[in-house]
Structures are given as C-alpha cells and as structure tokens.
Amino acid sequence: MHQLILLRHAKAVPDAGADHERALTDQGRRAAETVGRRMREAGLIPDVVLVSSARRTQQTLEGLQNAGLWDDWPNVDTLPGLYMAGIAQLIECARAIPETVRSALIIGHNPGLHEFALKLAGPAGGAAQARLANDYPTAALAEFMIPTAWRSLGAGASLQRFLQPLDIG
C-alpha cells in the first residue's frame, strides 16, 4: 500500500509577467506553512517530494519546511515537466516512483492536478469526494491510499482526505 499526496501550490500573485516566475502572496506563504503544520499533525510526512520548477511551487515547498514538516529534508526532485502538467504527465510521473517509496507528495498546478485527483478517486461517493469534484483551490491537499504498485497507478485509489485552506484555518 502506498500513500500519494497531491498539493496545489499556495496563492500566488496575479499575472505579473512570466507565469513560471510568479511568487506566493503573503497569504500564500502563511497558507503553505499552515498546510505544513496540519500535515505534520496528521502524520502526512512524505518520503519523496516531486515539485514543479515554478517559483510558486518551490515557495510552497519552502513553506512546508518552515512549518517543520520534516525533521530532515526529504528526497526532493524538482521536475520541470510538472510545470502546468496535464493528467497524462502526472500519471507518468507517479508511475515512475520507485516501489521502495511508501509515501510521495506532488506539488503542482491546476487544472492537471485536479483532473489527476478526480481520476484517482474514481466514481465512488462520500463527502470528501464531492468536495474534490467541486473545486481544487490553491493550497488544497488530497491524500490517497494506492492499493497497487506505483507503475500500475490508475483509478480506484482510496481518497482519505481532501483539505482546503478554509478547513485548515
């Protein structure tokens, strides 16, 4: 059994030139740290982090670290291909995770991240799934339990929780 956590970057400044270089707002920095604290409290401490090369995703990762999510810095791979990745790229990225990795975190962007989460969750019901289907705002986190090998990842994962910034407060 594997754990996959999908985190959308925290709130970034509005379009201010090159999209790839957009930084987090002050609100976004606070949200990233709050998510990091909540993750630690819930025991969501991934072994591996796959993060987009965009500035806002890198700063979201820094916020998690500033919140004390890890005692030691985890194995972090910055992947330029995660920048604005679609569902196919996200699936490919997750399927490439080594089997020895128990828990992985992907920090990325919408709409691809939302579409990926919806595919993993499948058609089953539940309150968390209904909320996930509705929206995937900035700094939102979805935790999945994956019953298969990483290389076989597809629909049928079990959505454990879906946290939005308003839930975390």
pLDDT bracket for residue 125 (50, 70, 90): low
Q: Check residue 126 and give its pLDDT.
A: 74
User: Mean pLDDT across the stretch 111-118?
Assistant: 95
Residue 60 sits at the vertex; the CA angle it makes with 58 and 61, to the nearest 5 degrees, is 65
**Per-residue model confidence as pLDDT tens digits over 95-105:** 999 999 999 99
**Per-residue model confidence as pLDDT tens digits over 136-153:** 999 999 999 999 999 999
| Owning domain of residue 90 | 2-168
| CATH number for the domain that contains residue 109 | 3.40.50.1240
Alpha-carbon distance of 59 to 28, in angstroms, equals 9
Q: Check residue 144 and give its pLDDT.
A: 95
The β-bridge partners of 52 are 79
Q: Check residue 83 and give its pLDDT.
A: 96
Q: Check residue 16 and give its pLDDT.
A: 67
pLDDT bracket for residue 48 (50, 70, 90): very high
Cα distances (angstroms) measured from residue 106 to each of 14, 43, 65, 169? 23, 16, 15, 22
pLDDT over threshold 90, residue 70: no
pLDDT over threshold 90, residue 73: no
Number of domains in the chain: 1
pLDDT over threshold 80, residue 169: no
Alpha-carbon distance of 83 to 79, in angstroms, equals 8
